[in-house]
Chains A and B, each alone.
Chain A
Amino acid sequence: MAVEKMSIAKALNESLRKALEQDPKVLIMGEDVGKLGGVFRITDGLQKDFGEERVIDTPLAESGIVGTAIGLALRGYRPVVEIQFDGFVFPAYDQIVTQLAKMHARALGKVKMPVVVRIPYAGGIGAVEHHSESPEALFAHVPGLKVVSPSNASDAYWMLQQAILSDDPVIFFEPKRRYWDKGEVDFDAIPGELHKARVTREGSDVTLAAYGPMVKVCLEAAAAAAEEGKSVEVLDLRSMSPVDFDGIQASVEKTRRLVVVHEAPVFLGVGAEVAARITERCFYHLEAPVLRVGGFHAPYPPARLEDEYLPGLDRVLDAVDRSLAY
Chain B
Amino acid sequence: MTVESTAARKPRRSSGTKRAAGAANAAAKPAAATAQTQDAVPQLVQLLTPEGDRVDNAENAEFAPFVADITTEDLRGLYRDMVMTRRFDGEATALQRQGELGLWASLLGQEAAQIGSGRALNDEDYVFPTYREHGVAWCRGVDPTNLLGMFRGVNHGGWDPNTNNFHLYTIVIGSQTLHATGYAMGVAKDGADSAVIAYFGDGASSQGDVAEAFTFSAVYNSPVVFFCQNNQWAISEPTERQMRVPLYQRAQGFGFPGVRVDGNDVLACLAVTRWALDRARRGEGPTLVEAFTYRMGAHTTSDDPTKYRRDEETAAWEAKDPILRLKAHLLATGGADEAFFTELEAESEAMGKRVREAVRAMPDPDTMAIFENVYADGHALVDEERAQFAAYLASFEEGH
Contacts and interface: CB of A to CB of B under 8 A. Distances in A.
Interface of A: 53, 58-59, 61, 63-64, 66-77, 91, 94-95, 98-99, 102-113, 143-144, 146, 166-168, 195, 241-246
A74 B374 contact: no
Contact of B186 (A59, A72, A105, A110): A72
A242 B379 contact: yes
A85 to B, nearest CB: 19
Contact of A67 (B157, B158, B178, B190): B178
B140 to A, nearest CB: 15
B216 A99 contact: no
Contact of A69 (B177, B182, B380): B182
B177 to A, nearest CB: 8
B185 interface: yes
A94 B179 contact: no
Nearest to B177: A67
Given A70-B182, A71-B178, A63 B379 contact: no
Contacts of B160: 107-108, 110-111
20 contacts: A61-B212, A70-B179, A70-B182, A71-B185, A72-B183, A72-B185, A75-B186, A91-B208, A103-B168, A107-B168, A108-B158, A108-B160, A109-B372, A109-B373, A110-B160, A110-B161, A241-B379, A242-B379, A243-B380, A245-B380
A8 B190 CA distance: 34
A95 to B, nearest CB: 7
Contact of B175 (A99, A109, A113, A241): A99
Most buried by A among B128, B157, B377, B379: B377
B213 A64 contact: yes
B180 interface: yes
A99 B172 CA distance: 9
A81 B175 CA distance: 18
Nearest to A73: B182
B219 interface: yes
Given A53-B189, A67-B209, A74-B179, A105 B374 contact: yes
Contacts of A110: 159-162
A144 B168 contact: no
Given A64-B213, A76-B186, A99-B172, A166 B178 contact: no
B184 interface: yes
B215 interface: yes
Interface string B148-190: 0000000111111110000110101001011111111111011
Contacts of A91: 208
B375 interface: yes
- Give the dominant DSSP class at B's interface: helix
A94 B159 CA distance: 23
A242 B182 contact: no
A106 B379 contact: no
Most buried by A among B157, B182, B187, B380: B182
A106 B209 contact: no
A133 to B, nearest CB: 21
Contacts of B376: 104, 109, 112-113, 166-168
Most buried by B among A72, A73, A106: A106
The 5 lowest CB-CB distance pairs between A and B, nearest first, are: A71-B182, A67-B178, A75-B186, A68-B182, A64-B212
Contact of B178 (A53, A95, A106): A95
Most buried by B among A66, A72, A167: A72
A75 B181 contact: no
B182 A168 contact: no
A75 B213 CA distance: 17
B216 A68 contact: yes
A113 B374 CA distance: 11
Contacts of B182: 67-75
B216 A63 contact: no
A103 B156 CA distance: 9
A104 B373 contact: yes
Nearest to A170: B377
A242 B172 contact: no
A102 to B, nearest CB: 7
Contacts of B157: 106-108
Interface string B188-216: 01100000000000000000110011011
B271 to A, nearest CB: 27
